[in-house]
Each structure stands twice: as structure tokens, then as C-alpha cells.
Structure 1
Amino acid sequence: MELHQKDLNNALDAARKLKSFLPATALAQQLFSACSAGGGSALDHSAVVRVHRMLGDKVPT
């Protein structure tokens, strides 16, 4: 998660400088940040499922 968050931050920073808008990238960054805040910063993408479960979404297992 940490490496992906860094990359997403770089993409969002570049978009801001270009006065562009990347809504899907911003959403991904929010999900990854929530995952990291929940103790998943060292995990891979599958940890995003934890965020959905925390939020009460029904995620198939």
C-alpha cells in the first residue's frame, strides 16, 4: 500500500500542476489511505477488501 500511495500522490500532484482532474485516482487514493489507517500499510491490494468490510459494504468472499 505504501508504494502505491506514493505513486498515486505523485499522479495527483502532477494533475494539480496541470490543472487536471483525476477522480478515479483520487478515489483509489482515499481507499488506500483508509486501508493504511486501518493498519494495512504493509499489505497488498487485497487489503482494500478490509476497507469495504469496515464501511459495511457486502463484499463476496
Structure 2
Amino acid sequence: MTQPTAEWADYTESDCSHRWAIESPNGPTSYGTCRHCGETREFKNSIQITSWESEGSHANRNRG
């Protein structure tokens, strides 16, 4: 079994049940702050879709 990275271990050891207040989107990422403990984290504002996924969704729309 592999050891978790330091970042993952820090995240899973938190006793806080985070409630994130995330800034309005302005670029690829936004920062969020936990309302309970004050921890900050960067969140992605969008996800990349591969061409395979986008083609599949278009095909399903046309079958309708």
C-alpha cells in the first residue's frame, strides 16, 4: 500500500466538516475559505471536457 502525500494526509486529518465560501468566478480558479475553521483552498471554476465526451453528448441530443 502506498503512503498518502503530505497534502492528502493534511486534508484527511482535519477535524473540520468544511463549509466553503467560494469567491465569484474570475478566471480558471477561485479561492474559498471554510466558514468554520478559516482554511483556504483553490477551486477550479470549470472542468475540461474531452472531445470524446462532448461528441457523446451531442449524439444523445440528436437521438432525442
**Length-normalised TM-score, structure 2:** 0.28
**Greater fraction helix:** 1
> Which is greater in Rg?
2
**Length-normalised TM-score, structure 1:** 0.29
| Larger RCO: 1 or 2 (CA < 8 Å, sep 6+) | 1
